[in-house]
Structure 1
Amino acid sequence: MSDYLGYKDKVCVVTGAASGMGRALTEMLVDLGASVFAIDRVAAGVPGVTREIIADLGAKASIDAAFAELPERIDVFFGVAGVAGVHNSFLETMTVNYVSNKYVTDAYLVDRVAEGGSIAFVTSAGGLRWEFPDIRAELTPFTDPDADWDALVQRVADFDASYGGDLPGFRGYILSKRALNLLVAERVQTFAEKRVRINAILPAMTATGMIGDFAEQRGGMDNLKAGSTGPAGRLAEPADMARTLVFLGSDLAGFVSGSFFDVDFGMNALELAGIAPMRTKWTMHESLSAQPA
């Protein structure tokens, strides 16, 4: 039988490997014969991984230490880790969800992902409409190729300060996911020159460890389910997202780059067709300016 996925003995790196989508993905990659390097703040504990690496993606020094433990050649990189922002500050949320991923992409992946390799990030349905011109204009300062870690952190702090310096973390969640989508789009040509593909999945609400935080923000689990189940009639499971990530990193997706997979059982399609109301079409400035003083 042909190995259409082509993961046998490939070096795969997964961030957020200890739980949720990252853990489901790590388990699948091990089953497919990949050499998996599992990164998280705690040990993943997935049998069969090549190495577990403890790292804090909110700290540059910790990321640098993690990459010192990784092979010089990486075949597939999966950026899964993130925080919900409900119990994190705006700066913490932006740093873990976005600054870390941009830093890893520009400082490490551009040199380490092998020819024919793949990069796939997990963003969110909360990052939809990133391509709208007015929204994209808000994001470009964060995707600037010349902005290093310190410059990005300062830009995040300045953005927060421009709205009073006390933006809630969930605002950072939306901004970070939009920015990561734009980053993927802007880096397509950079990686194409090395024959490396870069894509993203935009998950619907998924029953991971963060679901309690999202329910808290929505005013309870009933409210969350009422607004998030969509045509599927259920919340997504981590394996639903992991399967899509496996496809994107595989040989089957060898001509797929710059794609944004709405893994939502058609929720976004209904919005684009005008059948359901379009979510999050506002700029961050419009949303924040509309809040009561």
Structure 2
Amino acid sequence: MYDLTGRKALVTGGGRGLGQGMAEALAKAGASVVIADIQEDLGKATADSLKDSGATAAFVPLDVTDDANWEAAVTATIAELGGLDILVNNAGVELSGLVVDLDPADVRTMLEINVLGTALGLKHAFRAMRPGGPAGSGGSVVNISSVAATIPFPGIAGYSATKSAVDRLTRVAAMESGKLGYGVRVNCVYPGLVPTEMGMKLAADMVTLGLWPSAEAAVGDVIGLTPLGRLGEVGDMADAVVFLASDAAKFITGAGLPVDGGMGM
């Protein structure tokens, strides 16, 4: 039921970190994968690595905040793979800051990438996957939210707000898809803290903001808040994406799946 052979996937922010792991997991499950990223060197390297492992893969440049970029990326994906069944809206950014020192530019950046980028992905996935679209056979969209949408963690108010918006976008889009007969399931994942470059930067930011004495102390407290007693791994998040994209989740839409070791319960 987790076999994705014959499926065609587009993964945003797939050049590194969680996105790279998700792309690799989708390919391992049998999907053909296009990596979309604003960082072309990283995106091309990930696509080349997938091809070296025997997968069908390609790269397209994508600024997720740009509507025309999205249209071009989806068109290129369909041309390259012969269709589109899966979109993983993973691209995102986290900029830490205390509410008392809130930087409007940082908040706007997160709104543009995390919220608008996800919304535009939904727009163009629906247009491609719905009946009459250039792919036209339905599919699955998996949006990447965060445990930050479910807990009041200090220092990340703007990020938490934008990732909460991803959850709301997911549910409204799922309802619209169902009501309008698009045949596209829409779900989201709430990853816990993973020691990627982005995750470790967050820990370091907590020290800079005066919230923890060291990055190690911040990470230790996160583990202490997590019933399973460890940080997340890239593979934990990637497995959840494969599940939601697969027929094992064929009657699941509008859902948010915590993959956080119980931290957000």
TM-score normalised by the shorter chain: which range applies? 0.7 to 0.9
Indicate yes or no: 2:23 matched with 1:26. yes
For structure 2, the residue ranges without an aligned partner over 5 or more in a row are 98-104, 130-135, 208-213
Q: Which residue of 2 aligns with 1:160?
A: none
Task: Could you list the structure 1 runs, at least 4 aligned residues long, displaced by more than 6 angstroms after superposition.
Answer: none
Indicate yes or no: 2:52 matched with 1:36. no
SS, match of residue 86 in structure 2: strand
Q: Matched residues in 2 for 1:55 and 1:179: separation?
A: 21
The one-character-per-residue Cα deviations of 1:256-283 (angstroms, maximum 9, x if unpaired) are: 11111111112223xxxxxxxxxxxxxx
SS, match of residue 187 in structure 1: helix
For structure 1, the residue ranges without an aligned partner over 5 or more in a row are 131-168, 270-293
AA aligned opposite 2:221: G
Query: What is the deviation of 1:226?
Result: 2.5
SS, match of residue 213 in structure 1: helix
Do the aligned residues in 1 keep the contact of 2:229 with 2:261 (CA within 8 Å)?
A: no
Indicate yes or no: 2:176 matched with 1:180. no
Query: What is the deviation of 1:171?
Result: 3.3
SS, match of residue 121 in structure 1: strand
Query: What is the deviation of 1:213?
Result: 2.2
The one-character-per-residue Cα deviations of 1:68-109 (angstroms, maximum 9, x if unpaired) are: 322174101111111112397111111111111112212x11
Task: Decide whether aligned partners of structure 1 residues 214 and 194 sit closer, same or farther in structure 2, where only a CA change above 3 A counts.
Answer: same
Q: Matched residues in 2 for 1:18 and 1:120: separation?
A: 17
Indicate yes or no: 2:254 matched with 1:258. yes
Match for 1:197 among 185, 200, 216?
185
Q: How many residues matched?
A: 227
SS, match of residue 74 in structure 1: coil
AA aligned opposite 1:178: S
The alignment-based identity, stated in percent, is: 26
Q: Matched residues in 1 for 2:147 and 2:94: separation?
A: 13
Q: Which residue of 1 aligns with 2:139?
A: 117
Do the aligned residues in 2 keep the contact of 1:84 with 1:213 (CA within 8 Å)?
A: no
Q: Matched residues in 2 for 1:243 and 1:204: separation?
A: 14
TM-score after normalising by structure 1: 0.71
Q: Matched residues in 1 for 2:122 and 2:234: separation?
A: 24
Query: What is the deviation of 1:129?
Result: 7.2
Match for 1:77 among 62, 87, 112?
87
Task: Decide whether aligned partners of structure 1 residues 58 and 196 sit closer, same or farther in structure 2, where only a CA change above 3 A counts.
Answer: closer
